[in-house]
Amino acid sequence: MEIWINPACSKCRSALTLLDAEGADYTVRRYLEDVPSGDEIRAVLGRLGLEPWDITRTGEAVAKELGLKEWARDAGSRDRWIAALAAHPKLIQRPIITADDGTAVVARTDEAVRDALSR
């Protein structure tokens, strides 16, 4: 499994602590440094079963600068959202765990991390 993290994020650190406590085998991706491409974001969205606006941190300063809260949330706007996430990875919700079974979870709670571990 892989976990996308920002080391400054307390939810990410908590997820890593739980993965370590459970003896999980995982790879860390510091997604602010190793920025996912639009195709990688699309793939993760497919695994999550979510749309790009569902994993966007709209409270970030750059989100406000871009006016994301006013962007349409429809199929025609999907690529625009994905491009924004790829250009500004800080907008991506974290942590995201891609599980070995091909699914993924936004692991902001211990329960979500355990869900990923059970897959």
Residues 6+ apart with CB under 8 A from 56: 63, 68, 81, 84, 85, 91, 92, 93
Provide the residue type at 107 as one letter.
A
Among the listed residues 17, 38, 25, the one whose alpha carbon sits nearest the alpha carbon of residue 87: 38
- In the chain, the largest separation of any two C-alpha atoms, in whole Å, equals 43
Select which of 1, 3, 5, 9 is catalytic.
9
- Active-site residue, 9 included: yes
Catalytic residues: 9
